[in-house]
Amino acid sequence: MKNNKFSLVVVLLVFLAGFPQAKVLDRIIATVNGNAIFYSEFTARLKPFLEQLNASVADEAERKKQIKQLRKDVLDSLIEEKVLLDKAKDEKIEVTVAEIDKGIADIRSRFETEQEYLDELKKQNLTQEKMRERVKEQLMTVKLINREVRSKVKEPTEKELRDFYKNNEDKMVVGEQVRVKQIFFEVSDKSKKAQILKKARRVLARLRKNPGDFEKLVKEYSDAPENDGDTGYFGRGEKIPEFEDPCFKLRVGEISDVFETPLGFHIVKCIGKKAPEKKTFKEAKDYIRNYLMNSTMEEMYFRWVRNLRDQASIKILDKEFE
């Protein structure tokens, strides 16, 4: 699934998966300090996650269970965002025009052309002014979190780093890793699945005759041609099983058969493997420092935002979400 290009990765635990459409809103499902959360806002936020879940979970009972939890999580994230924005406004957090301009530029850079960006604005019924306001609100929230949480996280001492390494030496082992290049055939329209599979098999037949043409065929046929289809090294559990299992079975230089994942069809070529190895303290030091600081920040953030939520007036008005 392709990511929503309007999505801003702003900070840990702030979920900004897309922008709600500016259209006639049907009903209010919740309020935060008197500020409404509309059903259409909720469904717009839910949509990309729901599409991904439907594509990846085949069992109907399990899918229904996960959808129920997903709906709860999405509403909870919307409530949290309203709470944080209210606090940012109360604290009079300021965002400069230059900062908003940069935020807009970052979003625009995710589109190949200016027209593509404008078309997406139109598709979501967003004006330029409304987009700027949304970016401003997001930046206000980021600044608030940086001031109230991130800036108060202390860097661990050398002793704390060494103690963590000593107490977790068994976790300092990096498992087997594999690196592949892939030719990816996206199946976004299920009615064309058989046609796309035939195309993938034709490409595989060409590779069996001329394995050296792999990079050429990536450029010619892949729906994900970036970096010549190179995934970089990854370990088990970092990709979906349908993708990583065939990759780990290959020897270096070997090309797979066509295989299917929830996203489409793939042909991969193994270009590297790394055996499991234990990291030295020097090699693991930066990872440990980041891990400890992120863990501390996560704990501080949860306590801080929990307190903000306890102080806020949050009302669920729709029985569907009680």
For residue 2, is pLDDT > 80?
no
Q: What average pLDDT does range 23-40 have in this prediction?
A: 83
Give the number of other Cβ atoms within 10 Å of residue 164's Cβ.
Answer: 20
Residue ranges of alpha helices (H) inside 154-259 are 158-167, 193-209, 214-221, 241-249
Q: What would the two tokens of residue 173 be?
A: 């082992």
Structural domain boundaries in the chain: 28-153+297-321, 173-277
Confidence category of residue 124, pLDDT binned at 50, 70, 90 = low
Whole-structure pTM value: 0.65
Q: What average pLDDT does range 215-220 have in this prediction?
A: 95
CATH 3.10.50.40 fits 173-277, yes or no: yes
Helix, strand, or coil (residue 257) = coil
**What would you measure as the largest C-alpha separation in the chain, in angstroms?**
68
The topology under which CATH files domain 28-153+297-321 is Triger factor/SurA peptide-binding fold (1.10.4030)
Q: What would the two tokens of residue 54 be?
A: 């439907």
Nearest Cα residue to 52 out of 37, 81, 82, 74 = 74
Q: What is the CA radius of gyration of the chain?
A: 23
pLDDT by residue (tens digit) across 139-193? 999 999 999 999 999 999 999 999 999 999 988 998 999 999 999 999 988 889 9
Helix, strand, or coil (residue 148) = helix
Residue ranges of alpha helices (H) inside 11-127 are 39-56, 60-90, 97-108, 114-123
